[in-house]
Amino acid sequence: GQQLNQSPQSMFIQEGEDVSMNCTSSSIFNTWLWYKQDPGEGPVLLIALYKAGELTSNGRLTAQFGITRKDSFLNISASIPSDVGIYFCAGQRYNNNDMRFGAGTRLTVKP
């Protein structure tokens, strides 16, 4: 079953606002990833994090790998309508090749 707790479940924001979502786990992961899924499509990788404490940006997106290796957050600055979608966190351990996904955060941006 799922081992990642992602919050919030959904967000309704105004265009231009900043967004923050996070993921926590009771287990340690060696890699944290953040994906976005648009309707009718598979998830697309946004940011990958490989080291505890790592802070990585991709345009308006910033994500951090928690020091304890049990959490990660994703921030989106100055949101725009095309940011609408479902954002998933995912964790991976070295011993396993598969990923485990959070439940997702459904983002709605009002113009």
> Which residues lie near other proteins (CB under 8 A)?
2, 31, 33, 40-45, 48, 50, 88, 90, 97-104
CB of 47 to other proteins, least distance (A): 9
Taking the least distance from each CB to other proteins, the nearer of 26 and 41 is 41
Taking the least distance from each CB to other proteins, the nearer of 41 and 111 is 41
Query: What is d(CA 10, CA 5) in angstroms, rounded to the nearest whole number?
Result: 13
Letter for the amino acid at 64?
Answer: Q
CB of 16 to other proteins, least distance (A): 28
CB of 51 to other proteins, least distance (A): 12
Cβ contact 51:66 at 8 Å: no
Taking the least distance from each CB to other proteins, the nearer of 82 and 97 is 97
CB of 103 to other proteins, least distance (A): 5
